[in-house]
Structures are given as structure tokens and as C-alpha cells.
Chain A
């Protein structure tokens, strides 16, 4: 077992554990922090795949920006145990069964997809996740979708400012 493999198992175990903790934690602030850890471990996988740009963008955008917004909202919402709606045991059971079936479907799709079969992850090689390669691909092959999505983001930003200005 090489270093890469050891790191892979360590990161995978940690990401699954923290993803479970996101669901199990009673305190929503704890859930957000566990989710930040999930993003860190997934970013670690990007490093193993030699996708350094994806690694850092995942951290900046998700762990650094979106999760901070989550934290802002949750901290201001004044959540406590009394206000939490109590669900019956049957509801919880139904939720567990339907969620479990969805997980099974996801796993089987990933295992049987024709694009996935007989393919190996490129560890430490491959350059699609490096910044120059990604930039060239985005601005040549996918330039129109890229520009359209950036206009979409801009309109969302303008919309947010417009909503904020009303008061």
C-alpha cells in the first residue's frame, strides 16, 4: 500500500464519517462545521487526482464563502430544541428507508454506468484540473456556456442588490 492509497482511504473514511456527522449532529452549527470538513476531505481527493485548481476553488467557494453564509443564517435564526418540530418514529423510519433506497440507486448507477466501467482514476497524473489547462478548455471549447453562466451570475447579483435596495 503506497502513500497515495493510504491517503485515499484516510480521506474517504474521514469524509464519510464527517458526512454522517452532518446528519447526526443535533446542533445545526455543528452540522455546518462538519460539512466544512467534508469539503476539505473532498478537496483532498482532488489533490490526489492532481487537480490543484479544483482543490483550491472548492475550498474558496464552498468552504470559504457558501458555508460562511450558511453559518451567518443559522447563527441569526435562533434555533433551539423547543422550536424544533418533533417527528414520530414512523416518519423517521420512512425517511431512513427512502433515503437508503436512493443511496442504493446512486451506488448502482455509478457502478454500472458505461463511462465508468473498466476505467481507472488518474492518480497524480492528468492535467485537466490544472489551472492553465482548465482555463484553455473553458475559454475555447466551452466559451459560450461559460459566458452564459457568468451573465446568469451577474443577473443574480444585480437582483440581490435590487431586492436589498427596496427598503
Chain B
């Protein structure tokens, strides 16, 4: 009897790819915390962390060790299972999106062609959207399980922020899908690589702007970082958390930032496409490595924009945040969708 009949080489290949992507995301997120402090220092005319290791490069590890070794406090009246589950859910949701992102074209190793994408599903865009909507659970469960009124109110605040901006995000993605005609992220990248075809940013400038703002809101980044408003709003849903569980919540924010930068680079800025270079003319392995480099460069630029905004713009008040989300972003996204549809119909009719 054959219990499991499948290609073990493929299984192994995917397993390695998953491990690389997950540890890669965590590693990038680790050094994003360092970069954040350095960028803040540059913008504020300071030096930033420079004690641990050369140029302070070991600082993220020092911070991680500090968080791990801090005393772990679980409130007596909390719901213990859910209290522990909350940060885990936040981190899982943050990492899950990377499964459908194409990190590069393909490499040829040991007579095998390996696609640098964990799963090329034909609903990639919707998958991203579904995982984003799952991110709310980590916030709500953490806040509720703490059994603290401030945490609960902050969780509801955070969750309603996430839900409000998901709407405009979804609408701006619909306009993009109308342009591409495909939901697969791989196909979207390949379309943008075609000669004579511009990156999607050229066809969807307003859509990109809306998506960018929504990404800021979904990652809880300034100007939407109400969970960090400690003095006026009593911190966020993670008020009762300490030690590495708090670290997971904060770290999930950085993973989210990395992943949403990767999504923006993929769907609006050509993914692993190198501008003004025909990738089919060079050998696939070199093209793949160059492509990964190009994608990472784009991601790093986006992460820098995230930080730049954080240290430049002050935080919104909560009513301003809701007004912007519902009364400006959603109508603009709807108008963008209508306009895109009308132009596509007009071009088809010609």
C-alpha cells in the first residue's frame, strides 16, 4: 500500500524554499529594527545605536536577547490560552503572505528547474487579501484575553482601523486586477516584464497611492500608529504583554512592513524585473540572482519610505483617521475603479 505518493524532491525543494523565505523575512525584519533606529538618528541629527559590534550592527541581537530574558508576566485574570495565542497569531498572519509572492523567476540546480515562489496559485491577490483580513485576529484576541478594559478598547480601536483601511485596499486592488486581468502574482510580474509594457504604477498611480496609505494603516505605522500612543491613549492592545510576547507583536509589525513592501514592489513596480534589461538574453541562474537583487532593492526603498514617513509626520487623531479612511479613501478608490473600468471599455471599443 502506498500511503503517500508524491514527488519527495518537490516536497523537499518547497520545504527549503519555505524555510529560506521565513527566515529571510525574519532576518530582514530584524535588521529593519536596526535600520529604523539609524534612519531616525540621521533624520534627527543623532548617531543612533553604535555600541554593540562594529557600527552597532549587533544591536538587534542585543535587543532580542533583552526581550527573551525579561521577566514574562501573564496577568492572573487573563485567559491564558488566548493570551499566549495572540502574539503567535499576529506573527503567523504576518508571515503567511510570503507564500504567494514570486521572489524571482527560476533557477536551474541539479538538473531541476526550481521556481522561486512557494505556491503560484491563480488567486494570489485574493490570498494576500484574505491573510490581511486574518491579521485582525491577533490584535483582537490579544486585547480581549488580557482582561483589561484599556487593552480591550485599544484592540477594538486597532481592529476597526484595520477593517476600515482593508476596504479601500481591496477596492484599489480591484482596479489593478481590472488592468492586469489576472489574480496570479507571477502573471502580474511577467506582464510587467513584457517589452513595451510599463510597470503597473504607470497605469494605476492613484491606486498605488491609496494602496500605500492603506499599507501604512494595516502595518500600524505612523501616521496611523495609535497602538503606540502611550501617553494619550494608554498604549495599544499589547498593554499587558511583556518579554518576547510583546516582542512578537512589535516584530510582527516589522515583518508586515517587509511583506507589504514586497507586495507593492511586486504588483506596482515590476517585482523582480530589472528596468531596461532583457532578462531572456542572459542565463536563467544569473537572471534569477539579479532579479532577486532588483526585488530586494525595491523592497528596501519602500521600507525606507515607511521610516521616512514615520520620523516626519505626526500621528492622526482617531476621528481624523476614521474620516480619512471612510470619507476620502473609499470614495477615491471607488472613483479610481470606475475610471479604470471606463477607460478599459473605451480602449476596447476603439
Which residue of the partner chain, among B5, B126, B140, contacts A68 with CB atoms under 8 Å?
Answer: B140
Which residue of the partner chain, among A33, A68, A131, contacts B183 with CB atoms under 8 Å?
Answer: A131
Q: Given A63-B134, A68-B140, A131-B183, A56 and B127 touching (CB < 8 A)?
A: yes
Q: Are A56 and B3 in contact (CB under 8 A)?
A: no
Shortest Cβ gap from B137 to chain A (Å): 7
Check A153 for interface membership: any CB of B closer than 8 A.
no
Q: Given A3-B6, A6-B3, A68-B140, A60 and B122 touching (CB < 8 A)?
A: no
Which one of B3, B82, B133 has the highest number of Cβ atoms from chain A below 10 Å of its Cβ?
Answer: B133
Which one of B4, B82, B137, B159 has the highest number of Cβ atoms from chain A below 10 Å of its Cβ?
Answer: B137
Q: Are A3 and B130 in contact (CB under 8 A)?
A: no
In the assembly, what is the distance between CA of A56 and CA of B127, in Å?
A: 6
Check B208 for interface membership: any CB of A closer than 8 A.
no
Instruction: Look across to chain B and name the residue whose beta carbon is closest to the beta carbon of A65.
Output: B133
Check A64 for interface membership: any CB of B closer than 8 A.
yes
In the assembly, what is the distance between CA of A33 and CA of B141, in Å?
A: 9
Check A36 for interface membership: any CB of B closer than 8 A.
yes
In the assembly, what is the distance between CA of A11 and CA of B144, in Å?
A: 29
Q: For residues 94 through 130 of chain B, which have their beta carbon under 8 Å from a beta carbon of chain A?
A: 121-123, 126-127, 129-130
Q: Given A1-B1, A131-B183, A60 and B133 touching (CB < 8 A)?
A: yes
Instruction: Look across to chain A and name the residue whose beta carbon is closest to the beta carbon of B177.
Output: A131
Shortest Cβ gap from B174 to chain A (Å): 13
Q: Are A60 and B123 in contact (CB under 8 A)?
A: no
Q: Are A76 and B156 in contact (CB under 8 A)?
A: yes
Q: Given A1-B1, A72-B159, A60 and B140 touching (CB < 8 A)?
A: no
Q: Are B121 and A52 in contact (CB under 8 A)?
A: yes
List the B side residues contacting A56 at CB < 8 Å: 123, 126-127, 130
List the B side residues contacting A55 at CB < 8 Å: 123
List the B side residues contacting A63 at CB < 8 Å: 130, 133-134
Check A130 for interface membership: any CB of B closer than 8 A.
yes
Check B136 for interface membership: any CB of A closer than 8 A.
yes
Instruction: Look across to chain B and name the residue whose beta carbon is closest to the beta carbon of A2.
Output: B5
In the assembly, what is the distance between CA of A29 and CA of B122, in Å?
A: 34
Check B152 for interface membership: any CB of A closer than 8 A.
yes
List the A side residues contacting B4 at CB < 8 Å: 2-3, 6
Q: Given A59-B130, A63-B134, A68 and B3 touching (CB < 8 A)?
A: no
In the assembly, what is the distance between CA of A130 and CA of B79, in Å?
A: 41
Contact with B along A16-38 (1 / 0, CB 8 A): 00000000000101100100100
Shortest Cβ gap from B293 to chain A (Å): 31
Q: Are A68 and B6 in contact (CB under 8 A)?
A: no
Instruction: Look across to chain A and name the residue whose beta carbon is closest to the beta carbon of B121.
Output: A52
Q: Are B5 and A3 in contact (CB under 8 A)?
A: yes
Check B289 for interface membership: any CB of A closer than 8 A.
no
Check B26 for interface membership: any CB of A closer than 8 A.
no
List the B side residues contacting A57 at CB < 8 Å: 126
List the B side residues contacting A14 at CB < 8 Å: none
Check A109 for interface membership: any CB of B closer than 8 A.
no
Which residue of the partner chain, among A29, A65, A75, A131, contacts B123 with CB atoms under 8 Å?
Answer: A131
Q: Are A1 and B123 in contact (CB under 8 A)?
A: no
Q: For residues 29 through 69 of chain A, which have their beta carbon under 8 Å from a beta carbon of chain B?
A: 29-30, 33, 36, 52-53, 55-57, 59-60, 63-65, 68
Shortest Cβ gap from B153 to chain A (Å): 10
In the assembly, what is the distance between CA of A76 and CA of B160, in Å?
A: 14
Contact with A along B1-35 (1 / 0, CB 8 A): 11111100000000000000000000000000000
Check B163 for interface membership: any CB of A closer than 8 A.
yes
List the A side residues contacting B144 at CB < 8 Å: 29, 71, 75
Which residue of the partner chain, among A1, A27, A130, contacts B122 with CB atoms under 8 Å?
Answer: A130
List the A side residues contacting B129 at CB < 8 Å: 60
Q: Given A76-B156, A131-B183, A60 and B126 touching (CB < 8 A)?
A: yes
Q: Which 7 A-B pairs have the closest CB atoms?
A: A64-B133, A56-B126, A59-B130, A60-B130, A56-B123, A75-B144, A52-B123
Q: A56-B127, A68-B140 are in contact. List 8 more A-B contacts (CB 8 A).
A: A1-B3, A2-B5, A29-B79, A55-B123, A60-B126, A60-B130, A63-B133, A71-B137
**What are 8 sample pairs from A and B whose C-beta atoms fall under 8 A apart?**
A29-B82, A52-B123, A53-B126, A55-B123, A60-B126, A68-B163, A71-B140, A75-B155
Which residues of A come within 8 Å of B, CB atoms?
Answer: 1-3, 6, 27, 29-30, 33, 36, 52-53, 55-57, 59-60, 63-65, 68, 71-72, 75-76, 130-131
